[in-house]
Amino acid sequence: MNSFNVFSYIKPELLSLLAIDLVIAIALLSAMRVVSGMWAKVNTTEELSHKDNFAFGISMAGSIFAMGIVLTGAITGETANSYIVEAIGVATYGIVGLILIKVGRFIHDKVSLNQINKVEEIRNENVSVAIVDAAAVIATAIIIRAVLLWVEGINIYTFAAILMGFAVSQTILVVVTRLREHNYAKHNQDASFQDALKGGQIALAIRHAGHMVATALAVKAASYFLIYQPTAIVMNVIGWFAISIAMAFIIFILNRIARKIILMGIDTTVEVDQQHNIGVAAAEFAIIVSIALILTSLMA
């Protein structure tokens, strides 16, 4: 009876708005399957159910998850002025998010992992490359969501701010990848980080995925320090970049301290880089992402 009384307070208009949001959300999530197939130039049904291509499944799952993250920024739960306004708002933000996820993947393909043909590797069932690909789109989505929640309204300044946040995020993700490459070469006799991924080192991919997601959370935290000013694009760019770098550095330092304590007695470099220990890599993923989540929550 109490449950019935609770539902009796829900207005029919609100239920209609929720239905609109859910229909658009499911349509956009479904679109990510199509986009993933187009990106990899494959038939998704053939890859998933006939070839049992786990790598493609992981990559597509990352895209769908990323779209879901973006939609949580587009669907705020606030009551719109009309059904049309709600539908346009959610669909617009969702489509922009889908496009930016696609662009982010292109940048990751051509700049971050410029020595790897990700499409070919995933078609050839390279799980390590698929894990990094999924983490890249998820990291991009986390930042897009942060920007969607930061901006106000739908106008030219809104889209300028979204593009600004996206540009900052991609720059920092590329920098982090280069730093991880340098660190890997330093501890492995100048071996190539990207060649290791092509060689199928899943443990290395898991650890790198953790660093990308943590970096995205660092960029997200920058939004807590900035007040949205539609006409101050340059200051917004400088502010996002500076604070993001500072937050990423703090997370890196705290991660090193926490890792030495939590994984005391374990040489993580040997275990992950040389012995391909997925268990240790998973622990490293959990530690750095947890540090980033905690720090982000404190900043909020």
Delimit the domains of the chain by residue range. 11-299
Q: Are 58 and 127 in contact (CB under 8 A)?
A: yes
Beta-carbon contacts of residue 162 (< 8 Å; ≥ 6 apart) = 96, 100, 144, 147, 148, 151
Mean pLDDT of 47-73: 89
* The model scores a pTM over 0.85: yes
Q: 204-231, pLDDT tens digit by residue? A: 999 999 999 999 998 888 878 877 777 7
pLDDT for residue 160: 79
Q: Are 133 and 118 in contact (CB under 8 A)?
A: yes
CB atoms within 10 A of CB 226: 15
pLDDT-derived band at 79 (thresholds 50, 70, 90) equals: low
- What distance, in Å, lies between the first and last C-alpha atoms of the chain? 38
Beta strands (DSSP E) in the chain are none
